[in-house]
């Protein structure tokens, strides 16, 4: 089997170069560091238990020499043998073995608690860190692959922590103590044993290194398969509508075959290690037995006794057994390292940066306009800026948004917005229209800093958005997206998601504002109805109404509606239009809509094409120009 062999797909196609485990010792060190960080004392107890267990086993092996040379041989020659000394020695050995059993049990239970506790904290750290990652991470990775890190990769770490690490420590202790004992018993036989150990180690390292890359590829393929299953599960309706079942099955089969191929390559190499090493260990045992017999036969009987030979042969088996055990578990070790690499790769991703210093605070406003910061919610908000000289300045939050010469691209080599200039005064309604991919949603994503611009500046109430803390900036806005996301919980919980401190009465008022109160009260348990599966027990329009109610309870000065009524039928749209007008009243609103009837009353309509604002003005002004907007408007209503 050559070193350049690659896992192959269903038609024998190469799956690409095998990835490697980067810095395996560093990865293992991080795993041990996590365990020591939280469970240092317990880890010390585990090492003590391993030492006790190892010393007990070693004593039992060396006792064979004493048993044969000190008791069996003399007693067999005695005319009136006295077995009291042998009985006492056996009782002592039994007590030591009981201590070894207790140490082994304690080690197992301690490692179980250490591993599960470490994984508890590791998953919490992963989730905490994931919440700080920028949206670009979720754009670039499928949800199924991210979930695979939490499930499959973390589970491989569990096996590494609870089984492999203590086994490696125990094997190391056994090897060192056994080696010292063998040297004391017979140097020539020890030298022969070491030669065979070198051969076993060489085979283990060669085959283990080859399987490592396949295990990394296996974990990646597993994440890819999970991502595909998650994608197909969410899109089952689309699959069935377009009769795409057979193609989906074929795509799944291809990914499944890639996973099988990498798993076969990885486990195929790992699984032959144990029989190879076992046979080499048997060969070492036989050679030592032959050499020991020759030394005993040609010696005077004192250089190497029968008891010494038997003890040494047992030590020989005990010396090679740890290496065979590790080699038999090489697949779990390497898989655990591959899983750890993916886990740490997520943890090491840079968090979303936030250099903002301007914060959003609740204030009391006096008759003369002076503002005083308060912890209670007053309905009046201000931006708090602390200058370098310590002077604090409060600026009323009004919702004034301005773009100056803004350029942006999701990747540096491709700009999607070019020289965008716009302003939205407090209370104005700004609408964006244009063809798909023109950059409408991108503009709204820049206002709340889901992405940072490449050039230019965005001002919010006179502050550059880069100077405002992201949490405070986003807390001052409410967004209703075209794709509605509801969470497992009650209807009331999902509305309150817009503002966790909102009372039940405020949530009901927000639902009434969005005209969602009527259908909510017709649900089996009203506002206490449980929603699961992203609100699958509701219609698309009802889910969107809850999303609008969630934005309403936020009471923001800036409102972003990204085709918020696109999933609502015309009748429902008319029902909520009045509520939407109330929601937008006094608030700066950015509207993206494919139904031009929803933006006709906007203060300013901006027409985008390929990331450039090509027209701007009111509905009447744009119709008079008879440009792109006129074409969209007349074409839209002609279709209707």
* CATH node for 27-347: 1.20.1560.10
Characterize the bridge pairing of strands 455-460 and 463-464.
antiparallel
CA distance 144 to 234: 11
CA distance 17 to 4: 8
pLDDT at res. 242:
64
Q: CA-CA distances (angstroms) from residue 264 to 41, 257, 273, 598? A: 40, 10, 14, 58
List pLDDT tens digits, range 99-153. 989 998 998 899 888 888 888 888 888 888 988 888 888 887 877 788 888 888 8
pTM of the full structure: 0.71
Instruction: For residue 310, report the phi and psi dihedrals to the nearest 5 degrees.
Output: -65, -45
Q: Is 12 left (phi over 0), alpha (psi -120 to 50) or beta?
A: left
Residues near 276 by beta carbon (within 8 Å), at least 6 away in sequence: 203, 207, 327
The residue written with tokens 């889910």 in the block is: 543
Instruction: Give me the half-sphere count of Cα atoms (radius 13 Å) on the Cβ side of residue 397.
Output: 26
pLDDT at res. 102:
92
The residue count for the chain: 640
Domain boundaries, the chain: 27-347, 485-555
Strand-pair partners of 617: 605
CATH homologous superfamily, domain 485-555:
P-loop containing nucleotide triphosphate hydrolases (3.40.50.300)
Instruction: Give me the half-sphere count of Cα atoms (radius 13 Å) on the Cβ side of residue 8.
Output: 6
pLDDT at res. 8:
43
Residues near 434 by beta carbon (within 8 Å), at least 6 away in sequence: 440, 607, 608, 609, 628, 632
What residues of the chain score a pLDDT lower than 70? 1-22, 208-213, 237-238, 241-242, 269-270, 299-303, 323-331, 564-579, 635-640
The residue written with tokens 């950015």 in the block is: 590
CA distance 422 to 427: 15
Whether residue 354 contacts residue 470, with contact meaning beta carbons closer than 8 Å, is answered with yes
CA distance 591 to 480: 10
Cα four-point dihedral sign 174, 175, 180, 184: positive
Query: Which of 513, 511, 534 has the alpha carbon at shortest distance from 522?
Result: 511
């Amino acid at each position: 089997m050559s070193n350049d062999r690659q896992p192959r797909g269903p038609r024998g196609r190469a799956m690409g170069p095998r990835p490697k485990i980067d810095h395996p010792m560093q990865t293992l060190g991080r795993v041990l560091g996590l365990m020591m960080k939280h469970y240092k004392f317990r880890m010390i107890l585990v090492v003590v238990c391993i030492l006790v267990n190892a010393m007990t086993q070693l004593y039992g092996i060396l006792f064979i020499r004493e048993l044969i040379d000190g008791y069996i041989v003399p007693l067999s020659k005695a005319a009136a043998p006295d077995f009291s000394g042998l009985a006492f020695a056996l009782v002592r050995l039994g007590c030591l073995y009981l201590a070894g059993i207790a140490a082994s049990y304690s080690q197992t239970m301690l490692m179980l608690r250490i591993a599960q506790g470490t994984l508890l904290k590791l998953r919490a750290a992963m989730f905490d860190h994931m919440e700080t990652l920028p949206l670009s991470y979720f754009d670039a990775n499928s949800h199924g692959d991210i979930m695979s890190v939490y499930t499959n990769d973390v589970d491989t770490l569990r096996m590494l922590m609870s089984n492999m690490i203590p086994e490696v420590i125990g094997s190391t202790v056994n090897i060192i103590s056994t080696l010292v004992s063998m040297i004391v018993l017979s140097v020539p036989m020890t030298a022969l044993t070491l030669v065979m150990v070198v051969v076993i180690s060489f085979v283990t390292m060669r085959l283990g290194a080859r399987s490592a890359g396949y295990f990394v590829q296996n974990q990646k393929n597993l994440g890819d398969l999970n991502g595909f299953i998650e994608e197909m599960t969410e899109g089952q309706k689309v699959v069935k509508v377009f009769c795409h079942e057979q193609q989906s099955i074929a795509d799944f089969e291809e990914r499944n075959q890639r996973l099988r191929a990498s798993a076969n390559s990885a486990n195929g190499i790992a699984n032959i290690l144990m029989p190879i090493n076992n046979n080499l260990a048997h060969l070492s045992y036989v050679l030592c037995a032959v050499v020991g017999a020759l030394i005993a036969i040609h010696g005077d009987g004192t250089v190497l006794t029968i008891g010494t030979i038997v003890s040494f042969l047992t030590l020989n088996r005990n010396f090679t057994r740890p290496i065979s055990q590790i080699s038999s578990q090489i697949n779990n070790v390497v898989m655990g390292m591959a899983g750890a690499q993916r886990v740490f790769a997520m943890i090491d991703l840079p968090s979303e940066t936030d250099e903002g210093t301007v914060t959003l605070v609740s204030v009391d406003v006096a008759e003369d306009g002076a503002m005083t910061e308060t912890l209670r919610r007053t309905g009046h908000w201000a931006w708090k800026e602390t200058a370098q000289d310590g002077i604090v300045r409060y600026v009323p939050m009004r919702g004034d948004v301005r773009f100056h010469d803004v350029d942006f691209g999701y990747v540096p080599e491709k700009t999607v917005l070019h020289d965008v200039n716009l302003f939205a005064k407090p209370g104005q309604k700004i609408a964006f229209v244009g063809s798909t991919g023109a950059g409408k949603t991108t503009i709204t994503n820049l206002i709340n800093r889901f992405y940072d611009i490449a050039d230019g500046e965005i001002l919010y109430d006179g502050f550059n958005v880069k100077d405002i803390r992201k949490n405070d900036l986003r807390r001052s806005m409410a967004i209703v997206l075209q794709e509605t996301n509801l969470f497992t919980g009650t209807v009331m919980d999902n509305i309150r998601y817009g503002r966790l401190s909102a009372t039940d009465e405020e949530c009901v008022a927000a639902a009434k504002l969005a005209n969602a109160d009527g259908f909510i009260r017709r649900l089996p348990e009203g506002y206490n109805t449980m929603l699961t599966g992203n609100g699958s027990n509701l219609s698309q329009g009802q889910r969107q109404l809850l999303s609008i109610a969630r934005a309403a309870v936020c009471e923001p000065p800036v409102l972003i509606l990204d085709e918020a009524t696109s999933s609502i039928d015309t009748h429902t749209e008319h029902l909520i239009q009045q509520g939407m007008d109330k929601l937008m009243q006094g608030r700066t609103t950015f509207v993206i809509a494919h139904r031009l009837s929803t933006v006709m009353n906007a203060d300013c309509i901006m027409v985008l094409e390929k990331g450039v604002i090509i027209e701007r003005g009111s509905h009447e002004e744009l119709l008079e120009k008879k440009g792109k907007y006129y074409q969209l408007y007349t074409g839209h209503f002609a279709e209707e």
